[in-house]
Amino acid sequence: MRAASMNRRAAQLMGVEVQKVGLLAWALATAISVVSGFLIAPLTFLDFEMMFAVLLKAFAGAILGGFNSLPGAVAGCLLVGVLESLFAAYVSTAFKDTFAFCIIIAVLMLRPQGLFTRPLEAKV
């Protein structure tokens, strides 16, 4: 998948079927979305802003871990969930959703690339 996304032509020349890889990537993303929708549906009400709170927390976790690192994004999401629950238990449940905004602002100010990614180095 990385080869097909970075250089489509080179991946084709190496024998990778780029069309099938793209189809597999979309199928995998759809399957993960369906499973997450099934898991979160009993906890939320059906309205036009149904997944906004979940999307905000996932975005904060991805920013915290770093967009370039999949394990970092997963760890960031877990960390956001734990910290948000601790914040709700010790401070206030009324400001539970604003905690994700605070995480986004703090991480973007202090370490914009995320906690688990290295800064990109320029090659000469």
Q: Are 19 and 50 in a shared domain?
A: no
Label residue 50 by pLDDT band (50, 70, 90). confident
List phi, psi (to 5°) of 105: -65, -45
Label residue 3 by pLDDT band (50, 70, 90). confident
First CA to last CA distance, the chain:
27
Q: How far apart, in Å, are the Cα atoms of 11 and each of 26, 40, 49, 109?
A: 18, 37, 40, 38
Q: Is the pLDDT of residue 20 over 90?
A: yes
User: How many domains does the chain divide into?
Assistant: 2
How many C-beta atoms surround the C-beta of residue 80 within 10 A?
A: 24
Q: Are 54 and 104 in a shared domain?
A: yes
- Interior/surface letters 90-118, b for 16+ CB within 10 angstroms, e for the rest: eeeeeebeebbeebbeebeeeeebbbbbe
Q: Are 21 and 51 in a shared domain?
A: no
Q: Which domain holds residue 8?
A: 1-43
Q: Are 53 and 80 in a shared domain?
A: yes
Q: Are 67 and 110 in a shared domain?
A: yes
Q: Are 67 and 99 in a shared domain?
A: yes
Q: How far apart, in Å, are the Cα atoms of 3 and each of 11, 27, 64, 109?
A: 6, 18, 26, 33
Q: Are 35 and 48 in a shared domain?
A: no
User: Quick one: pLDDT at residue 70?
Assistant: 84
**pLDDT 10s digits, 61-73:** 999 888 888 888 8
Q: Are 25 and 39 in a shared domain?
A: yes
Q: Are 120 and 69 in a shared domain?
A: yes
- Mean pLDDT over all residues of the chain? 86
**pLDDT 10s digits, 79-103:** 999 999 999 999 888 888 888 888 8
